[in-house]
Structure 1
């Protein structure tokens, strides 16, 4: 595919997303209907789409539109190309499968205020409250792609050993100060899934902030641990690599954990999958990585920031309170409860813990961890509580 044809394909995918189709589904459907597209084409179109979604307000303005009432995939891609200093005339020339030439009506308009920061008006006050003077910086960071991080499995290697193995396969990395197990990928990220280091369990893909959350859990050998909202099991695997633990992984949707046994085998970790009906006994530590807005990880899931609304946030906070109460039921006397989200919003973080402590005087707060993308990884929150 030519660069112009890739641009046209991204426009078509973006139009489907703007019409309500989830981004991943829209990309998969396009790829299935475009057998001519090679792996490089699919990767380029995906990058175009996600880059445009991260900048949906500012790109729309630069493309002659206005989000949400008057925008289109064409406006987003035109605005993105202008923001990046690309050659719009070469990409929008109508030749072959390229988009039609730019018209006089598609004049760029300089984005202003929240539009320039790609922030929805309704949520800006809550983000300003949470981020304070760092609001502009963090929102600016959110307009670009997130870095790729690896977690080194300390049971199988150390950081320098893992770096040497990766370098032999032309994957360049560097340590990151936010977590002792973290390597930031500088080049060769697309080779990771086929690398020996990954296939042999030496490294696992995991954001550095997520690694920092696990490191802050104060794990100790011999503890019985419940990963209450395990999902794919990333934090279960990270915990297993830091201490000799008895780990049970649970999720309300058991299917979400379907890949965990194979991942655990690769990492030489022992993790037991437990269905809701089989949960029994008390645990020394219960980790509740609760469903959330994902506002700290909007770089990775950019459509989520535009799908979220006040009603959706209210549903999430109600669910988080339920998750906390359910997780607490499995904490042993003297045990600990960890609550985590990849959110920046106080309503999902400190406010949840304050409400829980008010309703449960038998718990006390040991410490909190608050991370934003300004530290290098995703935004994350973790509170560690102790039961009397």
Structure 2
């Protein structure tokens, strides 16, 4: 496929997504019926689509419309690709530029002149909440969410050192560098698409996991001999990260047990044991609640989330977050710790939920709370730790 044909296809797929079709479904369906497209074509089209979703409002402002075509024209202008070389109407490329589009190309908008929510590619309704949570960092944090996230690996220190893991990956064409955020993190600088086929991954020496997510588990007070519950385990990434740091009993639970279906096999590869349960019974020395949330700290990885989220959905999430803390508090042993984590930037999901828990349960005290903002060190996360008085 030519570069212009890739952009035309990305515009068509973006229109489907804007109409309500999930991005992964649209991309997968297209790839299955388009056997002519090679791996580089599929990767480039995917990148175009996700760039458009991350930068939906600013690209629409540049391109003149919130359509697949308008967003791709905005992409060209934002990335210094001459639209006249893409929008030619030739072959399988996009149709030629209209007079109105030529005018936008000749006199492009300066994104610095746009209102915050448009320049920051955020819905209007959530912008005040981001300003409240991030203060004078709101523009810089939102700018980070407009770009692809780095790829990180977590090294399983039970099996291999970080330096040895890096060397093993390099031998298979995967370049990495150690990351200062946490001692288990490697940032992948080349060969990311080969990770799942590498010996290091297959043998449980490394797993894909964001560096800030690793830092969250590193901030927990893990000790040998503990009994630990990961209550909202999801795929089990944090469960395995914790198991790599202490010789303890680890129990994983999730409201959707299907999410845990491959955790036992992954734990075996990693050389650790994890018990799965649908009804955890305390007491536990540490209970981690990595609760369902808006995902706003990781919207550069899943940009659909910011356009799908509504005020009503956020309120429902807040209720769920409170309920989870209330349900898990009785499972914590005397002297134990209850940890609350989100991958959210919003105060309503973070500090407000921590304070609300303390207000409802005055027998508990807040030990500490911490934020990680999205950037080169990983995604955005929040962690609060509680103990009984």
* Partner SS for 2:244: helix
CA distance in 2, matches of 1:287, 1:88: 50
Structure 1 unaligned blocks of 5 or more: 66-70
Q: How does 1:303-322 map to 2 (within 5 A)?
A: 303-322=304-323
Corresponding residue to 1:231 among 215, 231, 234: 234
Q: How many residues align?
A: 381
Name the counterpart of 2:115: 113
- Runs in 1 of length 4+ with deviation above 3 angstroms? none
Q: How does 1:149-168 map to 2 (within 5 A)?
A: 149-168=152-171
Asked whether 1:127 is paired with 2:130, we answer yes
Q: How does 1:1-388 map to 2 (within 5 A)?
A: 1-65=1-65, 71-106=66-101, 107-108=103-104, 110=109, 111=111, 112-114=114-116, 115-276=118-279, 279-374=280-375, 376-388=377-389
Deviation string for 1:345-365 (max 9, x for gaps)?
Answer: 010001001010111122111
CA distance in 2, matches of 1:128, 1:377: 21
Name the counterpart of 1:68: none
CA distance in 2, matches of 1:274, 1:344: 30
Deviation string for 1:302-333 (max 9, x for gaps)?
Answer: 11111112111111111111111112131112
Residues 298 and 344 of structure 2 are in contact (CA less than 8 Å); yes or no, is this contact kept in structure 1? yes
Give the C-alpha shift of residue 375 in structure 1: 5.8
CA distance in 2, matches of 1:259, 1:101: 49
* Partner SS for 2:275: strand
CA distance in 1, matches of 2:3, 2:262: 36
Which TM-score applies when normalising by structure 1? 0.96
Give the C-alpha shift of residue 158 in structure 1: 1.3
Give the C-alpha shift of residue 235 in structure 1: 0.2
Give the C-alpha shift of residue 248 in structure 1: 0.6
Deviation string for 1:168-210 (max 9, x for gaps)?
Answer: 1121111112111111111111111111111111111000000
CA distance in 2, matches of 1:95, 1:265: 54
CA distance in 1, matches of 2:148, 2:258: 29
* Partner SS for 1:335: strand
Give the C-alpha shift of residue 35 in structure 1: 2.3
CA distance in 1, matches of 2:242, 2:127: 35
Residues 137 and 374 of structure 1 are in contact (CA less than 8 Å); yes or no, is this contact kept in structure 2? no
CA distance in 1, matches of 2:303, 2:41: 21
Give the C-alpha shift of residue 374 in structure 1: 3.8
* Partner SS for 1:213: helix
Residues 178 and 375 of structure 1 are in contact (CA less than 8 Å); yes or no, is this contact kept in structure 2? no
Residues 150 and 376 of structure 2 are in contact (CA less than 8 Å); yes or no, is this contact kept in structure 1? no
Residues 145 and 300 of structure 1 are in contact (CA less than 8 Å); yes or no, is this contact kept in structure 2? yes
Give the C-alpha shift of residue 367 in structure 1: 1.5
Residues 358 and 365 of structure 2 are in contact (CA less than 8 Å); yes or no, is this contact kept in structure 1? yes
Structure 2 unaligned blocks of 5 or more: none
